Amino acid sequence: MDEDFLRAIDNLDELIPEQKQLLDDEILICECFCVNVRDIRDSFKESKKVDLSILSERLCMGKGCGSCIKSSSEWLDKIF
Ligand code: FES
């Protein structure tokens, strides 16, 4: 087989953009107020941009222990 062809196959994963892994709807994000991923998606289904201050207003997220907001870097980009 052609060595260039084999090398191209070896590097194929570098050419394919990484698929973003979205969270399942049922995953609980805020344990204090029982807010899951679906609740968050429903709140921003038009804009598809999650706003933490609106989540706090509408769903009380962050108004308990606050750990859901503190850990937002772990889940924020996996909603949409
Ligand atoms: S987990 Fe959201 S306020 Fe505690």
- How many angstroms is it from 22 CA to the middle of ligand 1? 21
Helix (H, G, I), strand (E, B) or coil at 29: strand
pLDDT digit string, tens, across residues 28-74: 999 999 999 999 999 999 999 999 999 999 999 999 999 999 999 99
Best mutation site among 61, 70, 72 for ligand 1 pocket (most ligand atoms within 8 Å of CB): 61
Distance of alpha carbon 35 from alpha carbon 33, whole angstroms: 6
Distance of alpha carbon 40 from alpha carbon 79, whole angstroms: 8
Q: Nearest C-alpha to atom 4 of ligand 1 is from which residue?
A: 65
Q: Where does the chain show beta strands of DSSP type E?
A: 28-30, 35-36
pTM, two decimal places: 0.78
Residue type, 45: K
